[in-house]
Amino acid sequence: MTEVTRTAEYNITIKENPLYEQTIINQIVDIHMKTFTGFFLTFLGKGFLKQLYKGFSSHEQSGLIVAEQKDSVVGFLAYSEDLSAFYRYLIKKSLVPFAWYSIGATIRKPSAMIRLVRAFLKPDESKREEAYIELSSIGVLPQMKGHNIGSRLIDELKGKYDSNRFSYIKLETDADGNDGVNAFYVKNGFCITHEYKTPEGRKMYEYRWSK
């Protein structure tokens, strides 16, 4: 199913299952590579990311929100209504391709194996008693920033929020050296509810939004 919200500058197209539209997945991966330079998932490569975003598009309780301009993807948002189930789904459906791309990453950087093992243990870490929507990833082409695209994508996600089903929308992002991103989430109504450090020593913020 596809829903389209039009504005004067661009179209936001919500595709519940763009799995078979490989061009869209490829463009999402390209935006990820340009937006998240230096991040671990980016280091794993385009093949790994294609499997990941295909998973968001095909998992029943997850999805992709895509912003298009003149039929080209200029921004995207990946989310899941059950992140624990999503990771289990990825392991079940795509373990072989994930393992293949992981081998290449491990050869380039042996310490990557530790982080990969932790990633595969993510289903247990993501379990919570309350139901929530996870904003897993959001990216906009660098040359398109300043056009309110990111906020429109978040508005579309907020439209999926039902207080009878979910307690909040949640996301996590770096606390240090990330002022612009943190200001963006605060501007869009998210509040910091938790701080923690990753095993690598990165300080992280957990944000939540609810009506």
Q: How many angstroms separate the CA atoms of 76 and 21, rounded?
A: 14
Output the average pLDDT for the chain.
83
Q: How much is the pTM?
A: 0.84
Task: Provide the pLDDT for residue 83.
Answer: 87
* C-alpha to C-alpha distances, 85 to 55, 181, 199, 205, nearest whole angstrom: 11, 28, 24, 23
Residue percentage of the chain with pLDDT more than 70 = 78
- For the cut 60, the answer to whether the pLDDT of residue 17 exceeds it is no
Confidence band (pLDDT; 50, 70, 90) for 208?
very high
Per-residue pLDDT of 165-176, as tens digits, reads: 999 999 999 999
The two three-digit tokens of residue 87, written as one number: 């990771």
**Residues in CB range of 60: below 8 A, 6 or more apart:** none
Per-residue pLDDT of 66-109, as tens digits, reads: 988 877 899 999 999 998 889 889 888 877 777 776 766 666 66
What is the number of alpha carbons within 13 Å of residue 41 lying toward its C-beta?
Answer: 16
The answer to whether 174 touches 181, Cβ cutoff 8 Å, is: yes
